[in-house]
Chains A and B, each alone.
Chain A
Amino acid sequence: MEVLLAVVIGTLYATGLYMMMRRSIVKLVIGLALLAYGSNLLIFTINGVTRGAPPIVPEGAVQPVEPFADPLPQALILTAIVIGFGVQAFTLVLFKRTYQSTQTDDLDAITSTEQSGKLKLPDMSRRGS
């Protein structure tokens, strides 16, 4: 199963990074989200996947029944997800405000904080559609 999950994880990282390297603000933030899925799933996967055995102690028992999923990575991911959510919410709004302020969502046009105007990238084109 880890093999398939490994492929999923690779895909999430790749698509996330690809989206981040676009020129659109929205794609950027979507890319960040994909990246977050990727890292969460990676932690989940590498620390041992156990089919259908949540780390919950049955009522009346003192210990969970073996085999059970490692609870610690789950707790870590949970924390990471929630943190990621907070950060993402802020990021989204920040990007929206940036768009409103600059009146463009083309990241290539958002360079005014650096003295770079003269450098042209080979793959830059005017806005398409």
Chain B
Amino acid sequence: MDSVILRTATRYLLPLLLLFSLFALLRGHNEPGGGFVGGLVASTAFVLYAIGCGVKSARELLMISPRRLIGVGLLVAGISGIIGLLASGVFMTAQWSTRDFPVVGKLGTPLLFDIGVYLVVVGVTLTIIFALAEGEE
């Protein structure tokens, strides 16, 4: 689609959306948000970009294939659980840092898990939408 202002707006919106998505992800443990919404906002950014500038550009921007992103996300989530298993003998037992960090609070495996969720959601949404958009040539 040949729309100057969509394309331009998208370029400015993209960082903003990504920033917000990370914000939602990191803060989710304490306020509304979390990996799922964060991931959706992040994918929104890329989908908008795909509509404005084409799927190919969006794929290039993303750099990693969305499908691989799914695998990585699942692995991250799985590892967060396995860390608990190794550390305490029970799967998914949370392991926490001893000190606080801003926004996030304490760092721990639940956050890692949420990051996994985030990555999966981005990967899933983009896999689906890109596949649909690229349609059936």
Contact = CB atoms under 8 A, between A and B. Distances in A.
Contacts of A59: 30
A59 B132 CA distance: 43
B31 A56 contact: yes
Interface in B99-137: 124, 128, 132, 136
A82 B36 contact: yes
Interface residues of B, number: 8
A95 B123 CA distance: 22
B31 A89 contact: no
Contacts, number: 12
B36 A89 contact: no
A86 interface: yes
Nearest to A82: B36
B108 to A, nearest CB: 17
Interface string A56-91: 100100000000000000000010001000100100
Nearest to A59: B30
Interface residues of A: mostly helix, strand, loop or mixed?
Answer: helix
A86 B31 contact: no
Contact of B132 (A82, A86, A93): A93
Contacts of A56: 30-32
Contacts of A82: 36
Contacts of B136: 100
Contacts of B30: 56, 59
A93 B133 CA distance: 12
Interface string B13-48: 000000000000000001110001000000000000
Nearest to A89: B128
Nearest to A93: B132
Contacts of B124: 86
Interface of A: 54, 56, 59, 78, 82, 86, 89, 93, 100
Interface of B: 30-32, 36, 124, 128, 132, 136
